[in-house]
Amino acid sequence: QSVLTQPPSVSGAPGQRVTISCTGSSSDIGAGYEVHWYQQLPGTAPKLLIYGKGYRPSGVPDRFSGSRSGTSASLAITGLQAEDEADYYCQSSDGSLGAVLFGGGTKLTVL
Amino acid sequence: QVQLVQSGAGVTKPGASFEISCKASGYTFSTHSIYWVRQAPGQSLEWMGWINAANGNAKYSQKFQSRVTLSRDTSATTAYLTLLSSTSEDTAVYYCARGFGGYGAFLDFWGPGSLVTVSS
């Protein structure tokens, strides 16, 4: 059971906008620790998608954006494309445990 | 370009230990910590620990504290994960990743993963 809660799945048609939530607690996201997002295509290693206050690594399209509020964070994907079909994970930290936390992952299906 | 190349493990028997190595290149090894994350079949990512490549200090997940050892060889720019007393529940893909930043770091480069199957 993951400490950060994500919906198991989301879906959308090409061109649409979808959001993926990541809910934590006052010990992690709510304590001010940054939330990072990763995309994992089938059979491959995770890839950094969003880090810190919504920054994108070089090569990540601006269709991907991240935000954080209170004890939650969200990943938004606009202009959905077939190639976006993947698993998405959020990551944060827990100050009280000194731990790195991952969400349970969300499978995005492009209809 | 930053690369993390993994090797080791494969099939191992229950009760045995295994080691996975992670050779880094394309950056100054000592300036970034190496994180270890595993993913059981069909499951989420699970953080195991990280090691400060400069001084060798390691931080472990409470779940793995008694069974995992992280080490590094700065001359070989390689980090190692050793897991003791493996069981079938340790069957997973094990990833090393480069950490960027201090506490609350993100993982900006990942190795390809090492599949470990624990089976008799």
Which residues neighbour A19 within 8 Å (Cβ) at sequence distance 6 or greater?
A10, A74, A75, A76, A77
pLDDT confidence of residue A95: 77
Chain A residues inside the 8 Å CB shell of B45: 38, 46, 89, 91, 102, 105
CA atoms within 13 A on the CB side of B36: 33
Given an 8 Å threshold on Cβ–Cβ distance, is B95 in contact with A45? yes
Give dist(CA A83, CA A85) in Å, integer. 5
Six token digits for residue B28:
């100054």
Query: In the predicted model, what is the mean pLDDT of chain A?
Result: 94
Quick one: closest CA in A to B113, which residue?
Answer: A45
Order of strands, sheet of B68-73, starting from the edge strand that comes earlier in the sequence: B3-8, B18-25, B78-83, B68-73
List beta partners, residue B35. Answer: B50, B97
Single out the residue of B92, B91, B86, B90 nearest to residue B39, CA to CA.
Answer: B92
Residues of chain B with Cβ-Cβ distance to A27 below 8 Å are: none
- CA torsion through residues A25, A31, A37, A38, sign: negative
Q: Is B11 helix (H, G, I), strand (E, B) or coil?
A: strand
Q: Specify the amino acid at residue A24.
A: G
Q: How many CB atoms lie within 10 A of CB B115?
A: 14
CB nearest B45 (choices: A46, A98, A99): A46
- Chain B residues touching residue A1 (CB < 8 angstroms): none
Q: Do A93 and B104 touch (CB under 8 A)?
A: yes
pLDDT value at residue A106? 98
pLDDT of residue B55: 95
Q: Phi first, then psi: what are they for B29, rounded to 5°? A: -55, -40
From B92's Cα to the closest Cα of chain A, the distance in A is 13
Q: Which residues of A touch B102 (CB under 8 A)?
A: none
Q: Do A51 and B112 touch (CB under 8 A)?
A: no
Interface contact A34-B106, CB threshold 8 A: yes
Task: Provide the strand spans (E) within A1-111.
Answer: 9-12, 18-23, 36-40, 47-50, 64-69, 72-77, 86-94, 99-102, 106-110
Confidence check: pLDDT of A1 > 60 = no
**Chain B residues with CB-CB distance to A104 below 8 A:** 44
For residues B90 and B38, what is the distance between their CA atoms, to the nearest angstrom?
Answer: 9
pLDDT in tens, chain B (120 residues): 999 999 987 999 999 999 999 999 999 999 999 999 999 999 999 999 999 999 999 999 999 999 999 999 999 999 999 999 999 999 999 999 999 987 789 999 999 999 999 999
Number of H helices, E strands in chain B: 0, 11
In this complex, which of B46, B47, B104 lies closest to A34 when CB atoms are compared? Answer: B104
From the list B69, B72, B81, B60, the residue with the least C-alpha distance to B31 is: B72
